[in-house]
Amino acid sequence: MPHADRAKRPIDSSDPYRYGVYLRPDPRTCRAVTVVTDQLRAQYGLVSAGAFPPHATLVGSQPFGRDAEAVETAITELLRDRPAFDVHNAGVREQGIGYVYDVADRPDGSLNEDFVRLARDVDAAVAPFRRSMHSPQANDYDPEHWRGHLSLASHDLYGRPDLHDEVGAFVRGLDVEVPSVFRGDTVALYRTASPDWSGRWWHTMTWEHVRTWTLA
């Protein structure tokens, strides 16, 4: 968003914004994610994964408040001359309560360390601007649990666990064509808002694209 637009709508710590720093997949993978999430909304009314643009979270749900522009500067410095890397898509996998495209590993099954380092370094870059907030919980980089993924079905299934197996079979049955590899070269910052982060916020959340960085 241009700086002039920001001046018209000041951002401070009282605003209901959360920020996410994401790795954006290539356009064909983005299309595949959208096809799946659109079909899940049409068939089952599931909206949580589709409430976001297609992405792999590096850090998410960050309440940066009035420090948002300083965060942009920090990420710009971090990503300057940083090389892109290949991301392997292992296909639809179960993760937690939901389903994802699993993009955490290399084709040989080893962890994609380039991806891990990017998430770790982005988390460190934004850490000085992080504020404590619990609704929703911040999605920080956690070295014990972080796995690169593209969400297909997520929060809705906490309320409909009876649909879990059926949704998984449905997603696999769609057999959506998706690239097995894409270049991890696009990082984006998004700002999200909801009138109530403590409830089922994915039904009311809106988002805005703020900034894109292209890796070398």
163-214 per-position pLDDT tens digit: 999 999 999 999 999 999 999 999 999 999 998 888 899 999 999 999 999 9
Give the per-residue pLDDT at 145.
Answer: 83
Q: Is the pLDDT of residue 24 over 70?
A: yes
- Of 175, 47, 60, the closest CA to residue 126 belongs to 60
Strand partners, 183: 86
Q: Give the three-state DSSP class for 111.
A: strand
CATH of residue 31: 3.90.1140.10
- Under 8 Å between Cβ of 56 and 23: yes
Give the per-residue pLDDT at 21.
Answer: 97
Report the distance separating Cα 186 and Cα 24, nearest Å.
Answer: 5
Q: Which range is least confidently modeled, 21-30, 76-85, 106-115, 194-203?
A: 194-203
Give the per-residue pLDDT at 197.
Answer: 84
Amino acid in position 182: F
Mean pLDDT of the chain, nearest integer: 90
Count of the separate structural domains present in the chain: 1
Q: Is the pLDDT of residue 59 over 50?
A: yes
DSSP string, 190-203: EEEE-S-TTS-GGG
- Of 82, 110, 83, 95, the closest CA to residue 56 belongs to 95
Give the per-residue pLDDT at 130.
Answer: 82
Give residue 136's pLDDT band: very low, low, confident or very high (50, 70, 90): low
Query: Hunting for tokens 């696999």 — which residue is that?
Result: 172
- Under 8 Å between Cβ of 101 and 215: no
- Structural domain span for residue 56: 3-9+16-214
Give residue 134's pLDDT band: very low, low, confident or very high (50, 70, 90): low
What pTM was computed for the model? Answer: 0.89
- Of 21, 20, 18, 38, the closest CA to residue 153 belongs to 38
